[in-house]
Amino acid sequence: MKKTIRILALVFAAAITIGLFSACGSNDSGNQLVFGTNAEFPPFESVAADGVISSVDGTQKFDGIDMVIANKIGEKYGKTAVINNMEFDSLLVALKNGQIDACIAGMTITEERKESVDFSIPYYTATQVMIVKEDADIKKASDLEGKKISVVQGYTGETVVKELGFEYETFKKGTECILELVNGKCDAVVIDSATAEKYVADNEGLIIVKDAEAFESEEYGIAVAKGNTELLEQINAAIQEMLDDGTISSLAVQYTEEA
């Protein structure tokens, strides 16, 4: 009897030891490079069961142009890139708090954001566009006057519409804006070009209206905490390499074609 107990105790101890070791292995945050994103922005980032990158705790996966870029930066840095998915509005605060190492979220480099974080070199050029119903009489930005406009809170789309002086309503997600439009509750959604294309491909009866004069081009960058030059240099080197060898442009084609 005593022997059985001793054997059981040994087995138990071994199990705990193995358990502890494997727990260490899967939770080795020292070797992780944590990217913050808001996975509501296809083709740059979205939740995907068969995605290319995992959440910090390994329970979720994500796919998109930014997600592949994050992986490549991780590889170059000798770390495993992982994702902390949060609201877009929380990203810059999370950087400041050290909750994430970098932010990759189709984020436009703006003077205002530069006051609180440092940005990498640009890796993608976009512009705001209008999504309207096929039969709408909106052909240019000035036609938005008096119309019901939906934008996502905190996106540059909101800033642009505000600067143009139009009234608008904000939503938490791009998909919520699109639902408003599809249901006839608003007349136009102002959002980034590549994401707009994805939404138009997924929803019948919608078209994109561009107005290059009203909407200036924007450049996406990866943000790090102010003064984190070591990481920023690594990120810049990785981006430069991916721009030079065509990785980013082929990713853009690949992920937009999937729309």
Site residues (CB under 6 A) for ligand GLN?
38, 41, 88, 105-108, 155-156, 192
Closer CB to ligand GLN, 76 or 122, in the complex: 122
CA dihedral defined by 68, 73, 77, 82, rounded to 10 degrees? -50
- Minimal distance, residue 63 CB to ligand GLN, in Å: 15
Burial tier of 251 (Cβ tally within 10 Å: 0-12, 13-18, 19+): buried
CA dist 104 and 98 (Å) reads 15
- Minimal distance, residue 23 CB to ligand GLN, in Å: 33
Closer CB to ligand GLN, 79 or 256, in the complex: 256
What are the C-alpha distances in Å from 189 to residues 6, 201, 202?
69, 15, 15
Q: Is 51 helix (H, G, I), strand (E, B) or coil?
A: coil
CA dist 209 and 137 (Å) reads 11
Closer CB to ligand GLN, 79 or 173, in the complex: 173
- Minimal distance, residue 110 CB to ligand GLN, in Å: 7
- Minimal distance, residue 226 CB to ligand GLN, in Å: 18
Closer CB to ligand GLN, 66 or 101, in the complex: 66
How far from chain centre, in Å, is Cα 20? 34
| DSSP-assigned states of every residue in 10-42 | HHHHHHHHHHHHHHHHHT-GGGEEEEEE-SEET
Q: Could you give the maximum distance between any two Cα atoms of the chain, in Å?
A: 87
Q: Which residue is nearest to ligand GLN (CB)?
A: 108
- Minimal distance, residue 112 CB to ligand GLN, in Å: 11
Closer CB to ligand GLN, 123 or 155, in the complex: 155
Closer CB to ligand GLN, 108 or 120, in the complex: 108
CA dist 144 and 157 (Å) reads 13
